[in-house]
Amino acid sequence: MATTQDPAPPATERELRQRVVIRFAGDSGDGMQLAGARFTDASAAFGNDLATLPDFPAEIRAPAGTLPGVSAFQIHIAGSDILTPGDEPDVLVAMNPAALKKNLGDLKPGGVIILNTDSFEERNLAKAGYDTNPIEDGTLDGFNVLTAPMDELTKEAVKDSGVTGRAVLRSKNFFALGALAWMFDRPSDTTLDWLADKFASQPEVVAANTAAFKAGYNFGITTEAFAHTTFEVPKADLPVGEYTNVVGNQTIAWGLIAGAQAAHLPLFYASYPITPASDILHELARHKNFGVRTFQAEDEIASVGIALGAAFAGHLAVTGTSGPGLALKSETMSLALMAELPMVIVDVQRGGPSTGLPTKTEQSDLMMAIYGRHGEAPLPVIAAASPGDAFETAIEACRIAVKYMTPVILLSDGYIGTSSEPWLLPDTSALPSFPAAFATEINHDDGFMPYLRDPESLSRPWAVPGTAGLEHRVGGLEKDQLTGNVSYEPANHEKMTLLREQKTQAVANDIPDIEVGEDSDAELLVVGWGSTYSAIKAGVLNSRTTGHKVAHIHLRHLNPFPPNLADVLAGYNKVLVPELNRGQLSRLLRAEFLVPTTSFSKMQGQPFMAGEIEAKIIETLGA
Amino acid sequence: MTATYSRQDFQSEQEVRWCPGCGDYTILASVQTFMADAGIAKEDIVFVSGIGCAARFPYYMETYGVHSIHGRAPAVATGIAAARPELSVWVVTGDGDALSIGGNHLIHALRRNMNVKILLFNNQIYGLTKGQYSPTSEPGKRTKSSPMGSIDYPFNPVSLALGAEASFVARTIDMDRNHTIEMLTAAYQHPGSALIEIYQNCNVFNDKAFIELTAKESRDENQIRLVDGEKIVFDNGTKGVAIEEGRAFVIDVEKFGMDVVHTHEAGLDNPATAFALSRLSHGPHGPTPIGIFRDVEREVYEQELDAQISSATEAKGPGDLAAILRSNSTWTVD
């Protein structure tokens, strides 16, 4: 990719690394998420493969300089295809003592630390809990420490920009970004063009950040320690095509738009703001020109009720939330499955129970998704495996909802929702198509029967208001299996209970068989679902390269399971189920298939690291 | 679309199962008569309810209908109206459904000015659960759940709706079919949300709660009929309502003369006068206003939503999925 550097870097011996993990860490007000996102775009433009992981505090602004206020962004760049944001960072950028203290333990031995020395003064050291200055007291022995007085150098750089006062120091993230751009040979254009575009209406901000970026870059060239710590991460050999960098909340929004188009229905998204799902609402609210109606409701219960109303009225109705909101929506989801109306419920899971860890990831809503309703209330549940996969999974959720006239839960999580990966853009002309067919005519000799089912899908007709002659009532009371009228007849209730279950099971008839990717010699099968995909994949591949006989399957469909899952599980002596919960899928597999699964559980609000999976695979095979 | 109907056209096949003598029968008949007169195409009408005795209502209307969840009818109706602004959407609810478990959805539907007409059947008791005090029961009410008398202070539904920024608020009485139909008509003609409180007698658990307003011998002295543009007088013109320093009170017309009697204006932008009128009675005991308290025009939510969709489409053109997939920066691997 052609780039213009300003000024041109002097020829230098860059150390070749196949992969590097970098973590930007600073105070929440230091702009680390922004710096990380800019470095990500520059890395994508350079041609690396990459994966990212933001890690920010739940508080909007925790007290400055404290440990709870530290915000971090990790990026893994590599020359060959990679799957995770990386286990241990090779490079840590620490904008203050708290950022150093909180992240130092994760850094690889001998790793590079870039510090803003201006923030290592008495007050900030005390806030971080350092009695002495770690730069001077030997704490950092064994690391490659690079220091810069970033406050001073940023002030100096931006003095002619027109930005004054406290706003001056807001540019210091761009100073750090400039130094990193030098260190990793990133194209400057990507960042500077973005700045010019983003702040077009504030030329002084463009000037200040551009000046800080260049000052950081030049500091890298001219400062000896920096000048000799430079890396070359080769371009990746990725499949040919057009790429973009996506986070899961965005791809779910896009997938819902695509799903509505495939169903030939207007999209209606009703939601109540909740971390980490709100960005789906934000993204969809920007796309009203698709006919998308977004509705910010008064509460979680209202949002799913509004979605139910929109579904009855003939729209592709979706509501989105996180765990606490899913709990509140449960009663209305039961109504949707009783009334047999199509709806998609997106759950971007976070650490629970209760308010739990709002900004951290977890997979602990699986049981609630499958069983968490009163009465016998089965509904289809599917899960996205990565930000890119979330696009297809959202389309699939829409397909099942419309075809089977049922609420469908789409599970994502904080990691998928907020982390990014390069995504090979799909051919939009080749996306699935599943036009919804509204009932328009009387379907029975005795009049319109709203519960007369399609014999194959067991789906009932969708007659929407405005259709003359098909006026009917739906509701939460048990209904006669044909007329839909209220019925307390004992045999009818049992029949309807079974029909609702059979309808959910019927979804298995048109979902693909699960395929085992790796060699058939495996003794151990690792079964995953959701956002653990990348870590499990990497862990399994690493294990296989060291001769361990292990295979991996990853489930998108969790209720019902793929039709051949029983056969696949039966083919292995050992089944390992890594999950960011206390073994929820593991229990489901045991209950459903009577297989002796081993659960591998992690409950830290963080994704699995590939190394953890690899170690567990080796341990399980050896046991 | 308009059509010609009779009341029977709005009667569904389901057997009506309220207790004999329930006020709901009269309201059902009034609504069916109104619908036949209004001429809205049957297929364009949706009745939505929550849970409670009143919530059976949609099953008895030969229109589209949703019998939803306790308290949630305004939310479901909001979704229907926002998705399909051309439909005529009606909510049937009760005092427990609307004001207790569903209070939040009620106030938000009103303030948003959704084009949803809310009929609040107020019988001041929980009927379906067999006789507990409700959020409109009078203090001291003895019920199964309040054997020593209720210590809950009740809502005044009209006051509440006015405080919730409702653009149309009215009150009527189940037994007065003509007045009910008049209120339904006005609510239907009003653009946006409308709340009609209907005093509804529960002859099983709270009989004669509104007897002062309905009994032949007392109704003249207790019914204050609000008529837009007219002086508020009642009891054969002997009494009137005056408003002074934000407070409404009953005066003797002969003694004070007509000049001090307030002329009702439902269209006032400031809801203070309507609120003052709503405070004339509690319970209701004594002279109680019925009629339209407030009827003002304001932006209707779903029309604004549609306007945003139109203006976004005009500005950006119809959505192009391939384009939004490229809204972040893209790069090509050759």
**More confident call, B208 vs A84:** B208
Q: At what angle do helices A300-312 and B103-112 cross, to 10 degrees?
A: 60
d(CA A75, CA A180): 12
Q: Does B2 touch chain A (CB under 8 A)?
A: no
Q: Does B148 touch chain A (CB under 8 A)?
A: no
Six token digits for residue B231: 């002086």
Q: Determine the pLDDT at residue A518.
A: 61
Closest CA to B69 of A598, A336, A377: A336
Within A55-202, where are the H helices? 97-103, 122-128, 150-157, 172-183, 188-198
Q: How confident is the model at residue A6 (pLDDT cuts 50, 70, 90)?
A: very low
One DSSP character per residue, A561-591 reads PPTTHHHHHHT-SEEEEEESSSSHHHHHHHH
Q: Determine the pLDDT at residue A63.
A: 85
Pairing of strands B64-67, B45-49: parallel
Q: What are phi and psi of A163, to 5 degrees?
A: -85, 135
Show the 3-state SS of A253-275: HHHHHHHHHHHCCCEEEEECCCC
Q: What is the pLDDT of residues B223-244, one digit of tens each?
A: 999 999 999 999 999 999 999 9
The region, left, alpha or beta by phi > 0 then psi within -120 to 50, assigned to residue B116 is beta
Which stretch of A8-17, A193-202, A339-348, B230-239 has the lowest confidence by average pLDDT? A8-17
**CATH hierarchy code of domain A15-232:** 3.40.920.10
Q: What is the pLDDT of residues B92-149, one digit of tens each?
A: 999 999 999 999 999 999 999 999 999 999 999 999 999 999 999 999 999 999 999 9
One DSSP character per residue, A56-75 reads --SSSSPPTTSGGGEEEEEE
Partner residue opposite A332 with nearest CB, options B44, B72, B325: B72
**CA dihedral sign, ordered A560, A563, A568, A569:** positive
Range A245-430 has CATH code 3.40.50.970: yes
CB A459 within 8 A of CB A339: no
pLDDT at A392 over 90: yes
Q: Under an 8 A CB cutoff, do A242 and B104 touch?
A: no
Q: Determine the pLDDT at residue A421.
A: 87
Closest CA to B22 of B125, B162, B99, B108: B125
d(CA B43, CA B41): 5
Task: For the beta carbon of residue A34, count every other beta carbon within 10 angstroms.
Answer: 17
Closest CA to A305 of B69, B87, B96: B69
Q: How confident is the model at residue A160 (pLDDT cuts 50, 70, 90)?
A: very high
* Optimal mutation site among A298, A338, A398, A487, interface B, most CBs of chain B within 10 A: A298
Query: A456: exposed, middle or buried (C-beta count within 10 Å: 0-12, 13-18, 19+)?
Result: exposed
Q: Determine the pLDDT at residue A11.
A: 46
* Optimal mutation site among A261, A282, A293, A473, interface B, most CBs of chain B within 10 A: A473
Q: Does B17 touch chain A (CB under 8 A)?
A: no
Q: How confident is the model at residue A7 (pLDDT cuts 50, 70, 90)?
A: very low
Residue with tokens 């507990």: B132
Residue with tokens 């209202």: A302
Task: Evaluate whether A15-232 and A524-622 have a shared fold.
Answer: no
Q: Determine the pLDDT at residue A109.
A: 93
Q: Under an 8 A CB cutoff, do A313 and B79 touch?
A: yes
d(CA A126, CA A432): 58
Q: Under an 8 A CB cutoff, do B312 and A288 touch?
A: yes
| DSSP 8-state symbol, A425 | P
Question: How many Cβ pairs closer than 8 A exist between chain A and B?
Answer: 212
Six token digits for residue A99: 């950022």
Closest CA to B86 of B44, B26, B23: B44
Which residues on adjacent β-strands are paired with residue B225? B290
* Mean pLDDT within A523-548: 94
Q: Does A342 touch chain B (CB under 8 A)?
A: no
Residues 6+ apart with CB under 8 A from A509: A456, A563
Virtual CA dihedral for A533, A534, A537, A540, nearest 10 degrees?
A: -110
Q: Does A473 touch chain B (CB under 8 A)?
A: yes
* Mean pLDDT within A160-184: 93
Q: Determine the pLDDT at residue A582.
A: 98
CB A248 within 8 A of CB B308: no
Q: Determine the pLDDT at residue A290.
A: 97
Q: Under an 8 A CB cutoff, do B79 and A306 touch?
A: yes
Name the 3-class secondary structure at A127. Answer: helix
CB A214 within 8 A of CB B296: no
Task: For the beta carbon of residue A165, count every other beta carbon within 10 angstroms.
Answer: 6
Euclidean distance between the first and the last CA atom of chain A, given in angstroms as a whole number: 49
Q: Does A470 touch chain B (CB under 8 A)?
A: yes
Q: Under an 8 A CB cutoff, do A44 and B331 touch?
A: yes
pLDDT at A10 over 70: no
Indicate the helix (H) or strand (E) that contains A27: strand A19-27
Name the 3-class secondary structure at B239. Answer: strand
Q: Which amino acid is at A574?
A: K
Report all structural domains of chain B as residue ranges with CATH numbers, in order of start: 1-209 (3.40.50.970), 218-298 (no CATH)
Q: How confident is the model at residue A521 (pLDDT cuts 50, 70, 90)?
A: confident
State how far the alpha carbon of B296 is from the alpha carbons of A474, B113, B163, B196, B267, in Å. 34, 11, 14, 15, 5
d(CA B207, CA B260): 37
Considering only residues 30 to 59 of chain B, which have any Cβ-Cβ distance to chain A shorter than 8 Å? Answer: 41-46, 48, 51, 58-59
| Proportion of chain A above pLDDT 90, given as a percent | 86
d(CA B113, CA B96): 22
Query: A480: exposed, middle or buried (C-beta count within 10 Å: 0-12, 13-18, 19+)?
Result: middle
d(CA B196, CA B191): 14
pLDDT at B28 over 60: yes
Show the 3-state SS of A295-327: EECCCHHHHHHHHHHHHHCCCEEEEEECHHHHH
Q: Determine the pLDDT at residue A554.
A: 97
Pairing of strands B168-173, B194-199: parallel
Name the 3-class secondary structure at A166. Answer: helix
Q: What are phi and psi of A391, to 5 degrees?
A: -60, -55
CB A568 within 8 A of CB A514: yes
pLDDT at A212 over 50: yes
pLDDT at A3 over 50: no
State how far the alpha carbon of B262 is from the alpha carbons of B230, B288, B296, in Å. 8, 15, 19
Chain B: give the shortest CA distance to residue A358, in Å.
Answer: 25
Q: Which residues in chain A are closer than 8 Å to B69, comparing Cβ atoms?
A: 305, 331-332, 335, 476
Instruction: Report residue A204 CA to chain centroid gap.
Output: 35
Residue with tokens 């971080």: A128
d(CA B123, CA B146): 17
Closest CA to B138 of B159, B127, B122, B119: B122
Chain A: give the shortest CA distance to residue B44, in Å.
Answer: 5
Residue with tokens 């470095």: A39
Q: Taking CA atoms, what residue in B is nearest to A420?
A: B328
CB A98 within 8 A of CB A27: yes
Range A524-622 has CATH code 3.30.70.3040: no
The mean pLDDT value of chain A amounts to 94
Task: For the beta carbon of residue A56, count every other beta carbon within 10 angstroms.
Answer: 17
**CA dihedral sign, ordered A488, A490, A494, A499:** negative
d(CA A462, CA A402): 9
Q: Which amino acid is at A462?
A: W
Chain A: give the shortest CA distance to residue B113, in Å.
Answer: 14
Q: Does B158 touch chain A (CB under 8 A)?
A: no
Peptide bond into B157 cis (omega under 30): no
Q: Which residues in chain A are closer than 8 Å to B334, comparing Cβ atoms?
A: 240
Task: For the beta carbon of residue B243, count every other beta carbon within 10 angstroms.
Answer: 18
Name the 3-class secondary structure at A471. Answer: coil
pLDDT at B282 over 90: no
d(CA B207, CA A85): 69
Q: Please, what's the largest Cα pairwise distance for chain A?
A: 90
Six token digits for residue A70: 């530290």
Peptide bond into A490 cis (omega under 30): no
Q: How confident is the model at residue A12 (pLDDT cuts 50, 70, 90)?
A: low
pLDDT at A8 over 50: no
| DSSP 8-state symbol, B2 | B
Domain boundaries, chain A: 15-232, 245-430, 437-510, 524-622
